[in-house]
A and B are shown apart, each in its own frame.
Chain A
Amino acid sequence: MTPSVEPAVRDDSQYRGTHSEEILVDVKDLRMYFPVTEGAIISRVVAEVKAVDGVSFFIRRGETLGLVGESGCGKTTTGRCIIRLENPTDGKIVFHGQDLTELSQKQLIEARQKIQIIFQDPYSSLNPRMTIGDIIGEPMQVHGIIPDPVKRNNRVRELLTVCGLEVGFADRYPHEMSGGQRQRVGIARALAMDPEFIICDEAVSALDVSIQAQVINLLEDLREEYGLTYLFIAHDLSVVRHICHRVAVMYLGHMVELAECDVLFDNPMHPYTQALLEAVPIPDPDVEHDREHKIIKGEIPSPINPPSGCVFHPRCPLAVGGCKTEVPDFREVEPGHWVACTEV
Chain B
Amino acid sequence: MATLLEIEGLKTQFFTSAGTVKAVDGVSYTVEQGETVAVVGESGCGKSVTALSILRLIPWPPGRIIDGHIRFDNKDLLSLDEESMREIRGRDIGMIFQEPMTSLNPVLSIGLQLTETLVTHLAITQEAAQRRAVELLEMVGISEPNRRLKQYPHHLSGGMRQRVMIAIALSCEPKLIIADEPTTALDVTIQAQILELMKDLTRKLNVAMIIITHNLGVVARYADRVNVMYAGKIIESGSANDIYHDPKHPYTLALLKSIPRMDQARQAKLDPVEGQPPDLTKLDDGCAFRPRCRYAIDRCNADFPLLEQVGEGHFSACWEKDKLDTTLAEAS
A residues whose Cβ falls under 8 Å from a Cβ of B: 1-10, 12, 15-16, 70-71, 178-181, 208-214, 216-217, 220, 235, 237-239, 241-243, 261-262, 265-266, 275-288, 293, 295-297, 299-300
Contacts and interface: CB of A to CB of B under 8 A. Distances in A.
B263 interface: yes
Contacts of A212: 258, 272
B270 interface: yes
Interface residues of B, number: 59
Contacts of A242: 260, 266, 270
Contacts of A279: 188-189, 191-192
Contacts of A5: 244-245, 247, 253, 256-257, 326-328
User: What DSSP secondary structure best describes chain B's contact surface?
Assistant: loop
9 contacts: A4-B246, A4-B326, A10-B268, A235-B187, A265-B265, A277-B262, A281-B222, A299-B159, A299-B160
A206 to B, nearest CB: 9
B135 to A, nearest CB: 21
Contacts of B270: 213, 216-217, 242
B272 A210 contact: yes
A221 to B, nearest CB: 9
Nearest to A6: B327
B262 A7 contact: no
A285 B223 CA distance: 9
Contact of B244 (A208, A238, A283, A300): A283
Contacts of B330: 8, 10
Contacts of A178: 276
B247 A238 contact: no
A70 B189 contact: yes
A213 B258 contact: yes
Contact of A300 (B187, B215, B253, B264): B187
Given A209-B272, A237-B262, A265-B263, 10 more contacts: A2-B245, A6-B328, A7-B264, A9-B267, A209-B255, A214-B272, A216-B260, A283-B217, A283-B259, A295-B193
B327 A15 contact: no
A281 B218 CA distance: 6
A60 B330 CA distance: 29
Nearest to A9: B267
Contact of A10 (B246, B255, B331): B331
Contacts of A12: 265-268
Contacts of B52: none
A281 B215 contact: yes
Contacts of A9: 267
B240 interface: yes
Given A10-B267, A208-B214, A285 B240 contact: yes
A70 B258 contact: no
A242 B268 CA distance: 9
Given A210-B255, A241-B262, A241-B266, A283 B327 contact: no
B258 A210 contact: yes
Given A5-B244, A9-B267, A284 B258 contact: no
B241 A217 contact: no
A277 B273 CA distance: 28
Given A237-B262, A238-B259, A286 B190 contact: no
Q: Which of A242, A275, A293, A297 counts the most chain B CB atoms within 10 A?
A: A242
Contacts of B42: 208-211
B330 to A, nearest CB: 5
B221 interface: yes
B43 A208 contact: yes
Nearest to A272: B189
A287 B245 CA distance: 12
Contact of A282 (B196, B263, B277, B328): B263
Given A5-B245, A5-B256, A295 B192 contact: yes
A248 to B, nearest CB: 16
B298 interface: no
Given A237-B262, A288-B221, A213 B331 contact: no
Interface in B206-226: 214-222
B261 interface: yes
B274 interface: yes
Contact of B268 (A7, A262, A282): A7
A276 B214 contact: no
B261 to A, nearest CB: 6
Given A5-B245, A10-B268, A214-B274, A283 B256 contact: yes
